[in-house]
């Protein structure tokens, strides 16, 4: 593993690295795809072939892992024609953990990227990116599917209380959507979302920071017009993960986002 840097989602050579289109572009062996991640257990693997890299240039692969207990896995990289796979083991830890591997591209024209469970209790892989070193994104977006193309968990007394339509999320009763993601300790973040209440109401976006269960709350008043709501916050020392919970009666929301300030 290497020192962390922000890896751009632009120019990403891995296709469907957020698994929003299921297993498309991926070859699965005993693995499964659900809720924007790939589930690996009992030695399962998922892999795809990558093209369009530049020989002798340095690349960074970034991904997030969430394994049960003392679960662990490894990233395997192999170049054509012999595909001798070089292993990069990782230990996941509690919650979602960001992992990075830096390597130099070799001749051959194709690279096989494989994620493998090391016969552990199992875990999940998501948000896989591969870019040339130095392609740093000025803003790191933590929310996946903030335009409601996927990645959200729904908790509702009845399925019809939450629906995703035309890039919006509509919550019409006692229900909520939530999503977990990795965070850095002692870091400035900006939480923002668009919201409207066509028939009145109110809502909240609650951010739970772990470990420690500290809470940041963004109140969303019942404006019938589309309105942007924002809240700045700083993560406490030791923070590793967060969960964003959006709830409200009669709320319609879009463009949910958590970003870090630009490093430019």
Parse the chain into domains and list their residue ranges: 27-132, 153-259
| Secondary structure E strands in 68-200 | 72-79, 86-91, 97-104, 111-117, 123-132, 153-156, 162-165, 168-171, 175-182, 188-196
The whole-angstrom distance between residue 50's C-alpha and the CA centroid of its chain comes to 20
pLDDT of residue 166: 67
Per-residue confidence (pLDDT) for residue 16, from 0 to 100:
86
Residue 1 confidence (pLDDT): 40
- Which candidate, 27, 25, 71, places its Cα nearest to that of 47? 27
Q: What is the pLDDT of residue 209?
A: 94
Question: What CATH architecture is 153-259?
Answer: Sandwich (2.60)
Return the pLDDT at 2.
41
Q: What is the pLDDT of residue 215?
A: 92
- Check residue 138 and give its pLDDT: 47
Mean pLDDT by 10 residues, the chain (264 residues): 45 84 92 86 94 92 81 92 93 74 91 89 86 68 74 80 83 89 89 89 92 90 88 91 92 87 46
CA dist list (Å): 192 to 36, 43, 67, 183: 22, 39, 29, 16
The predicted model scores a pTM of: 0.55
Record the tokens describing residue 135, joined without a space. Answer: 């392609």
Question: What is residue 93's predicted lDDT score, i.e. its pLDDT?
Answer: 63
The answer to whether the 27-132 and 153-259 domains have the same CATH topology is yes
pLDDT value, residue 233:
92
Alpha-carbon dihedral angle through residues 176, 128, 21, 49, given to the nearest 10 degrees? -170
Domain range 27-132, CATH architecture = Sandwich (2.60)
Using one digit for the tens of pLDDT, what is the confidence trace for 47-81?
999 988 999 999 999 998 887 766 789 999 999 99
- 183 CB-contact burial (10 Å; exposed 0-12 / middle 13-18 / buried 19+): buried
């Amino acid at each position: 593993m290497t020192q962390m840097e922000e890896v751009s989602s632009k120019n990403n050579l891995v296709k469907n690295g957020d698994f929003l289109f299921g297993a498309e572009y991926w070859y699965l062996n005993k693995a499964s795809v659900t809720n924007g991640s790939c589930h690996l257990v009992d030695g399962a693997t998922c892999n795809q072939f990558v093209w369009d890299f530049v020989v002798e240039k340095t690349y960074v692969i970034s991904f997030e892992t969430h394994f049960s207990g003392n679960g662990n896995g490894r990233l395997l990289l192999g170049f054509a024609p012999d595909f001798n796979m070089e292993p990069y083991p990782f230990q996941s830890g509690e919650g979602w953990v960001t992992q990075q591997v830096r390597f130099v591209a070799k001749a051959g024209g194709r690279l096989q990227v494989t994620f493998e469970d090391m016969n552990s209790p199992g875990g999940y892989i998501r948000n896989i990116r591969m870019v040339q070193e130095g392609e740093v994104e000025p803003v790191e977006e933590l929310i996946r599917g903030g335009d409601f193309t996927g990645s959200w968990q729904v908790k509702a007394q009845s399925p019809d209380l939450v629906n995703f339509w035309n890039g919006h999320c509509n919550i019409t009763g006692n229900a909520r959507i939530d999503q977990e993601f990795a965070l850095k300790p002692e870091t400035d973040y900006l939480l923002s979302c668009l919201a409207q209440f066509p028939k009145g109401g109110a809502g909240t976006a609650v951010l739970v920071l772990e470990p420690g269960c500290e809470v940041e709350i963004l109140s969303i008043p019942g404006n019938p017009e589309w309105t942007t709501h924002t809240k700045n916050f700083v993560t406490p020392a030791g923070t590793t993960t967060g969960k964003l919970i959006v709830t409200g009666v009669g709320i319609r929301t879009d463009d949910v986002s958590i970003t870090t300030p630009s490093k430019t």
